[in-house]
Amino acid sequence: MRDKFHLKIISGTANRKLAEEVAGHLKVHLTPIEIKRFSDGEIYCRILESVRGCDIYIIQPTSPDASQHLMELLIMVDALKRSSPEKITAVIPYYGYCRQDKKTKAREPITAKLVANMIQVAGVDRVIMFDLHVAQVQGFFDIPTDNLDMLPQFAECILDKNLKNMVVVSPDAGGAARARTFAKVINAPIAIIDKRRPEPNVVHVENVIGDVHGKSAIIVDDIIDTAGSITEAAKILVKHGAKEVYALATHGVLSGPAIERIAKSHLKEAIVTNTIEISKEKYIPKLKILSVGPLLAEDIKRTHEGLPMGVVYEEMYKKLVKKTRK
């Protein structure tokens, strides 16, 4: 690695635990920063040590409260930009507003694009994200982006359970590509839930396309928000004869009634990651949390050194292939 003191990791308030974990993997300290909010809600930020000529990585998911955390990120970038760093990379494990990626009705905004514009105008040189709701959001940026995923880690987690007769399930037609990729990794068939979404956070599940009878069903998605989609999917899968149901999702937003719904659902386990900090009161036996820290640290290290990340995924998938053949 280039001089590790040239590399600096900065954390906002959205997920400091993840930032501390990443810094630990990289064997660097978190750059001290002062962030406070005035009584009127305005955000103040000051970097407490020199960053001149440094390669900066700001870890700040724009998770709920998305607008507050986004504004905090922009203010940190501005403070850094005025402090003469070599490069600023925004590490946004969860990209808030990512589901507003297109117009579906007249006079609607494309907020995911607006957020990309704001991040670039603030002065960011590169963005690292995880499992975007739709991959084309990368095209909203005119700067380099990384869209990492946790499919190998999810696959290893499932394979370690030694489940028999598995089927990978996409919770909707839009997620079929993600499910197909995962199914290929664990060598399982796929099924698709036919659902309708009449309004945000309201789901009507209507049918299952594919055979799930007597099988261990693995639902693969990118986000669990209110858990309505996932729990309704689990219900209909059991109704169609699934032996047990697991759910995998990179981002555990877990808003509103999500935890209560998961606890009372047909799900045997819901597995998410720590792209969003999950408060301890949301920990329940059915919820398992994997860490993106090691993978994120590796990507930051390789970005800092100018090395490709693809070879890391190639090695992970090779190990999984060997595991499925045992």
Given a contact cutoff of 8 angstroms between Cβ atoms, the answer to whether 206 and 194 are in contact is yes
Helical H runs in the chain? 16-26, 66-81, 111-122, 151-159, 176-186, 228-239, 258-264, 293-305, 310-325
CA distance 249 to 154: 9
CA distance 141 to 226: 29
Cα–Cα distances (Å) from 75 to 33, 101, 141, in that order, read: 12, 24, 19
318 a catalytic residue: no
Backbone angles phi, psi at 147, to 5 degrees: -115, 90
Query: 184, 195, 235, 286: which is the annotated catalytic residue?
Result: 195
CA distance 43 to 75: 8
Given a contact cutoff of 8 angstroms between Cβ atoms, the answer to whether 132 and 118 are in contact is no
Stretch (H or E) spanning 202: strand 202-209
CA distance 300 to 58: 11
Q: Which residues are catalytically annotated?
A: 195
